[in-house]
Amino acid sequence: MSRPLPRPLYLLSGLIVGLCVLLTSQIAASQEDPLKWLPPGSRIEATLSEYPARAVITEQRGGTPGHLARLGELVFRSPLTLGRDAARRGLSCDACHTNGAANTAFMIPGASDQPGNIDLTHREFHFREDDGIDNPVNIPSLRGVRWTAPYGHDGRFPTLRAFSHNVITREFGGPPLEDWLMDALVAWQMEFGFTDRDRAAQTGKAYRANCLSCHGDGATMPDPQVHDIGTGRLVQAPTLLGLAESAPYLHDGSAATVRDAVQAHDNLGLPDSILSAAIREAERIGTVTRRFDPETLTGDLRRLDGFLDLVNQQLLDEDGKRADRIGDMVAMEIGHIHRRFDVEAVEARALIRDWARALARLVRTGLDRDYPGAREQLAALKEAIRRDLPRLQADEQASLYASAAEGAEKGADQ
């Protein structure tokens, strides 16, 4: 069973002496439990101990994403991307589209009529955009998004950049993202592929005759046109690849199953035998055999190490302001690791707080234009994290990482 989230930690602002107020507050906030800013019963994580399976196109081809895409991963994961209100509540691009998949567990009481749905113009989600209309929409998957333009349920955004700008500034009410960060965000989203993708999957006559022209198959992408299938709303037909991990279906999540979604189409007029065959073939295209990967301590530390390299690059470029901007986001990644340890894991939590303080100091050094000194401090921080790993592992049973390891073992035994 999943363990409950640890209790919030008190702010660290009084402990980080001599640092600027903004950076201190960002690191302090990164250690807190963001759920305290959301209505009771809210859930913004896909699961507590697992993560939707990673499907990064460059990695699937045997490579490694470049600097811009790796920066984009940090931007995608950071609540700071979406503005002050989102940062306080722990909401990020990744919260709704975890690892590019649809977060079907996402729930904010009042703004969600069911898990996986959100009313983007409800006061519980974005109070300044409350339109007084109950109109939740289903959170879409971003798997394979590079191939599925235009964007939005109704296809009104021609580019991924325009779509992302709308999400940040209108849906979340945040300030426009600086160009260098938006470039990175788009680059990372363009890396989202499909899990278990089988372009050789064969479809039968029923699917080809009734579904292929709008939805494509394992080898072709959907028709970019919008259609009214009988819901009274023009929507773009989604790809059916990865269908199994994105229920419920339709733009408003009103279809619990693939059959329900198909039967919502007006004037099908198909004999039940053909309808059933088309549904079976659609489900075969959408099969996902690996939905989740365990979230591990070593995996999180590996990702953190890569994000610290992003700070180092800005120090090499002698751009203290950009190093500071990235450092704020990395501080929240440190907070993510900290929150995964229960309060009884005293030593582990203390070590992680030390990392946050060290990050704050080196960023301050960079802002003072002592770039060699900042790089030395960053190297020392990376070494401290490697040195501290065995001590964190000693406390791992008092963390959510233990739940992930137990789940992985059970999966291997089955």
pLDDT in tens, 279-323: 999 998 888 888 899 999 999 999 999 999 999 999 999 999 999
Task: Check whether residue 216 and residue 302 sit in a common domain.
Answer: no
Q: What is the pLDDT of residue 202?
A: 64
What tens digit of pLDDT does each residue of 359-414 get? Answer: 999 999 999 999 999 999 999 999 999 999 999 999 999 999 987 656 555 444 44
pTM of the model: 0.87
Look at the chain and report how many structural domains it folds into. Answer: 3
Same domain for 232 and 321: no
40, 60: one domain: no
Residues 251 and 367 in one domain: no
Q: In terms of domains, do 100 and 172 share one?
A: yes
Among residues 401, 349, 333, 348, the alpha carbon closest in space to that of 2 is found at 401
Q: What does the pLDDT read at residue 287? A: 86
Residue 97 lies in a domain: yes
Domain end among 150, 171, 195: 195
Q: Is residue 110 part of a domain?
A: no
Distance, CA of 77 to CA of 328 (rounded, Å): 12
For 144-158, write each residue's pLDDT tens digit.
999 999 999 999 999
Pair 391, 325 in one domain: yes
Same domain, 301 and 348: yes
**What's the pLDDT score for residue 29?**
47
Other CB atoms within 10 Å distance of the CB of residue 271: 10
Let me know if residue 133 belongs to a domain.
no
Residues of the domain holding 152: 50-104+139-195
Residue 251 CB: number of other CB atoms within 10 A? 21
277 and 374 co-located in one domain: no
Dig out the tokens for 191 from the structure.
């890396």
For residue 187, is it within any domain? yes
Residue 114 domain flag: no
Question: Which pLDDT score is estimated for 6?
Answer: 40
Query: Pick from 170, 195, 220: which residue ends a domain?
Result: 195
230 part of a folded domain: yes
Residue 121 lies in a domain: no
Same structural domain for residues 309 and 270?
Answer: no
Same-domain check for residues 33 and 55: no
Is 132 part of a structural domain of the chain? no
* Three-state SS annotation for the chain: CCCCCCCCCCCCHHHCCCCCHHHHHHHHHHHCCHHHHCCCCCECCCCCCEEECCCEHHHHCCCCCCHHHHHHHHHHHCHHHHCHHHHHHCCCHHHHCHHHCCCCCCECECCECCCCEECCCCCCCCHHHCCCCCCCEECCCCCCHHHCCCECCCCCECCHHHHHHHHHHHHCCCCCCCHHHHHHHHHHHCCECCCCCCCCCCCCHHHHHHCHHHHCCCCCCCCCCEECCCCCCCEECCCCCCHHHCCCECCCCCECCHHHHHHCCCCCCCCHHHHHHHHHHHHHHCCCCCCEEECCHHHHHHHHHHHHHHHHHHHHCCCHHHHHHHHHHHHHHHHHHHHCECCCCHHHHHHHHHHHHHHHHHHHHHHCCCHHHHHHHHHHHHHHHHHHHHHHHHCHHHEHHHHHHHHHHHHHHC
Q: What is the CATH number of the domain that holds 83?
A: 1.10.760.10
pLDDT at position 46 is 75
10-residue mean pLDDT profile of the chain (414 residues): values are 37 32 45 70 80 94 96 97 90 94 93 94 84 92 94 94 96 95 98 74 84 88 88 90 92 94 88 92 88 93 98 98 98 95 96 98 98 98 98 96 65 44
Q: Are residues 247 and 344 in the same domain?
A: no
57 and 156 share one domain = yes
CATH number at residue 359: 1.20.1420
